[in-house]
Amino acid sequence: LNINGDFFLNGITNGAFWYHVAGGMQDWQYVNTNCLEITIEMGCYKFPQKNMLPQLWDEHKYSLLAYMEYVHRGIRGFVLDQRGHPVKNAVLSINQGKNITTTDEGEFWRILLPGRYTVLVSHRKYLPQILNITVDEGSAKLINVTLEQKLCRENTVDSIRVRGEGAVRIAVFGVDSLGKSIVQELANATCLPEDLFVEILQQSTLHLFPSMSAERALYLKVIFP
């Protein structure tokens, strides 16, 4: 390549410095699979002949194996809830580099050079955790994280559930056994709200009564004067 005017210090160049490709397979792999894809330019032959392969292998095998070994460096582990169940789509934010998300099994892995890092583990249904870790030379450090669920505001004495903090106040109460069951299901669904309830709870406050009594009627008069 030097003959054609190209010069690579120590035989290596940054791909984007050599020529820029936007939205290629390398970008897709890095963003969507946490895979570091590289292209190795071993020579000027697009399709080497069969008799050239042994020499090409001998020239590159140790570098290739050393490169592959890097997958075992950095950090790895699982994000679980308090019952030991995997938490998928938890986000791991490191003080440098891209964010990564856990798999359906709660697993994560991140190639990191030796050093000290601050890792934020977060999920919209759980309380976040901040980890200060030190990555050493050698095999990846195993880090298993247990996230605690966000607690809902409960009035356990009166079994009244309050959801949301919006200005619009809404009371829902059951008048029979079926109504009690429905209100309890609504309380469960809005404790850790899915997308259906997020916008509602941003604009309103729900007061949920599985059943009614004289005391709860007084509560209603205070909350809804």
| 45-94 confidence digits (pLDDT tens) | 888 899 999 998 998 899 889 888 888 899 999 999 988 999 999 999 88
Give residue 2's pLDDT.
56
CA 15 to chain centre: 28
Give residue 108's pLDDT.
95
Give residue 101's pLDDT.
92
Give residue 61's pLDDT.
92
The residue ranges of DSSP E strands in 125-189, in sequence order, are 126-135, 141-142, 145-146, 153-155, 160-163, 168-173
Give residue 157's pLDDT.
41
* Whole-number Å distance between alpha carbons of 187 and 80: 24
Give residue 29's pLDDT.
86
Domain 73-146 has CATH 2.40.128.50: no
> How sure is the predictor about 206, in pLDDT bands with cuts at 50, 70 and 90?
confident
> How sure is the predictor about 152, in pLDDT bands with cuts at 50, 70 and 90?
low
- Short-list 104, 111, 78, CA closest to 89: 104
* Whole-number Å distance between alpha carbons of 220 and 222: 5
Regarding predicted confidence, which is higher, 96 or 130?
130
| 163-205 confidence digits (pLDDT tens) | 877 888 888 988 888 888 888 888 877 876 666 777 787 788 8
| 45-54 confidence digits (pLDDT tens) | 888 899 999 9
Give residue 225's pLDDT.
64
- Domain boundaries, given as residue ranges, for the chain: 2-71, 73-146, 153-223
Give residue 117's pLDDT.
92
Mean pLDDT for the stretch of residues 3-8: 64
Percent of the chain exceeding pLDDT 70 equals 88
- For the annotated catalytic residues, the residue numbers are 41
Biggest CA–CA distance in the chain, Å, is: 93
Is the Cβ–Cβ distance between 182 and 174 less than 8 Å?
yes
| 104-124 confidence digits (pLDDT tens) | 999 999 989 999 999 999 887
Distances (CA, A) of 103 to 33, 53, 209: 10, 38, 38
Give residue 103's pLDDT.
93
